[in-house]
Amino acid sequence: MMKPTRRLGALVTAAMLLLLAACAGLPTTGPVNPGIAPGEEPPPPDFFYIPEGPQPGASPEEIVRGFVEAGTGPADNWATARLFLSTSLAETWDPTAGVTVDDRGDRAYAEPAATEVSLTVQADATVNDTGAYETGASGVTTLEFHLAQRDDGEWRITKAPDGIVLGADQFPNVYGEYSLMYFDPTWTYLVPDVRWFPTINAATWIANALVGGDPSPWLAEAVSTAIPESVTLSRPSVPVSGGVADVDLSRSALGLEQDGLDRIYTQLQASLLATGVTEVRLTADSTPLAAEPVPVRSTRVSTSPLVLTAEGFGFLSGDDLTAIEGLSAAMTQVDAAAVQVAPDRDAAAVSTTGGEVVRVDAAGDVLVVDDRAGLIDPSIDPHGYVWSVPREDPSGLIATGADGVAVTVADAFPDSTEIAALAVSRDGTRVAAVLSVNGRLGIQVAGIVRDTDGVPLRLADPFSLGSVSGAGLSLAWLDDTTVAALTRSGTDVTLVEQAVGGPGASVTAPSGTVSVAGANTDATVRLRSEDGLLFVRRATNWEQTAADILVLATQQGSPS
């Protein structure tokens, strides 16, 4: 069920006014400790910012500086920041309107008039009122502040833009990364939609966003939610005690079918898990609702690398190769250059050394699905469709089913002139790609819109995750919320690990690296070099674990 976009800020602001407790304390960084036990509350960040209020005799610029720095204190709905504002503005200023993330060292203050102060910031990223993160979204921005002097001679801000500004060093200690969980259209998988909310009382933010909001626009048509329009939160706050979150829905939830309630429970429980919640107590207008989580299919894959060697195709453990029943034997019929295996391991999408894309299944059948020139490495989705596209024609994306029927995927990357790599997510709802747009290389992700039979119809408008430099080599999903791209500039190879809805990070890859494969976390990424060496990351180093690897395959899941 799709829902029209609704603004989250007003609901969450009300919740913050009701619940957020003042936060004060000293840094709590200490020795490494074991993780939390079930039912315990998650630990606080390494430290809390405790912004200062206005100082007596502060100048207009000092008041504005103090106000901006007070954005680090979301306690009591940014109560400290409101002390810098006039009485009327303090009542209307909306800090939840968005976040500008910048480098504090690049900020430039100016006083164009005695009662005005301007602040110029270079935005590295922004977070909007729904918690959606976008890299480099607004560039250079000038914020205008007007001030007036009170009867006691102290300056206060009478006009200020909504939202807050946080330095890139401050942002991770004020805001946390959380995933709103939706279902794929078949109700088989849970699909994360990454958002960023204040870490203080994050459960309230998450519940309001999930129950009172919508999926991100680029993802909305590719996922489903069990929460109908008629169901809201009867109160905007979500108290958490002993790992139990109390979520009170509107009275209309009493009329829902049991499977609907169970799916709502599942979405809420999975979404709140990152806050330390292990159980959701669901009510409707204070009436208890009986619900339990529904089974969902995991997207986890085998921790052993899946490779092709001179000995065959299978999972590598030390010097031993474990074959996949049926599929490993079938792979001997093709000369593979790249392989991606379907979740049930009953089929694989293969790029041959001759440039064709073929489908190989465990029954031994080999089907040529695309023989166009210049094809990039293919991908296979949970519905059995093999995705293929020529490097110089991103809009020529097709998906071919097990029956050999190819469908054109409409609206594929309309502004792109070249595509270097592509990978469908393990849940089948998203596709990521390394693309060239106006001569600039970047990573994009788009929702996959399917019909009721799972046939891919088109892609939603793509969402840019960020730019990369050099030439694109390979792309893989590391987990459900992170993709990895390999790029090369001259002889230097870079691994870009990019969160889908968050910041990215780049590390130097071993010389000659040409392909990447993920596992279950970003810490278990594997690389293969052009001379057949296999590497795995150990802390900050790359450790060679095998040699003579012809192909490093990627996995789309494990048999259920």
pLDDT tens-place string over residues 361-382: 999 999 999 999 999 999 999 9
What's the predicted TM-score (pTM) here?
0.90
pLDDT digits over 301-350, tens only? Answer: 999 999 999 999 999 999 999 999 999 999 999 999 999 999 999 999 99
Q: Which of 51-60, 73-82, 89-98, 133-142 has the lowest mean pLDDT?
A: 133-142
Q: Please list, residue by residue across 517-551, b when 16 or more beta carbons sit within 10 angstroms of its beta carbon and e when fewer do.
A: bbbeebebbbbbbeebbbbbbeeeebeeebeebbb
**What pLDDT sits at residue 395?**
97
pLDDT of residue 540: 82
User: Which residues, 6+ apart, have CB-to-CB distance to 249 below 8 Å?
Assistant: 211, 231, 232, 233, 234, 264, 282, 283, 284, 285, 289
Dist. CA 373–CA 114, nearest whole Å: 66
Residue 245, C-beta contacts closer than 8 angstroms, at least 6 positions apart: 203, 207, 238, 239, 268, 272, 275, 277, 279, 280, 281
Cα torsion angle, 439, 441, 444, 448, sign? positive
Could you tell me where the DSSP H helices lie in 371-456?
A: none
Confidence of residue 139 (pLDDT cuts 50, 70, 90): confident
Q: What percent of the chain has pLDDT over 70?
A: 91
pLDDT tens readout for residues 210-220: 998 999 999 99
Averaged pLDDT for residues 433-451? 96
Rounded-to-integer distance, Cα 219 and Cα 463, Å: 9
Residue type, 344: D
Cα–Cα–Cα angle for 353, 355, 356, rounded to 5 degrees:
110
Query: Judging by beta carbons within 10 Å of its beta carbon (0-12, 13-18, 19+), is residue 257 exposed, middle or buried?
Result: exposed
55 vs 75: CA distance, rounded Å: 20
* Interatomic CA distance for residues 121 and 142, integer angstroms: 6
159: helix, coil or strand?
A: strand
- For residues 66-81, give the mean pLDDT: 96
Mind listing the pLDDT tens digit for each residue in 248-276? 999 999 999 999 999 999 999 999 999 99
Say which DSSP state 392 is in: T
More confident residue, 466 or 41: 466
d(CA 560, CA 554): 18
3-state secondary structure of 202: helix
State both tokens at 382: 């949970």
DSSP H stretches of helix in 297-420: 327-330
Going by pLDDT thresholds of 50, 70 and 90, the confidence category of residue 47 is low
Give the dihedral sign, CA 426/428/430/433: positive
Instruction: Quick: pLDDT tens for 490-533.
Output: 999 999 999 999 999 999 999 999 999 998 877 789 999 999 99
Whose tokens are 């209307």? That residue is 92
pLDDT, residue 137, reads 56
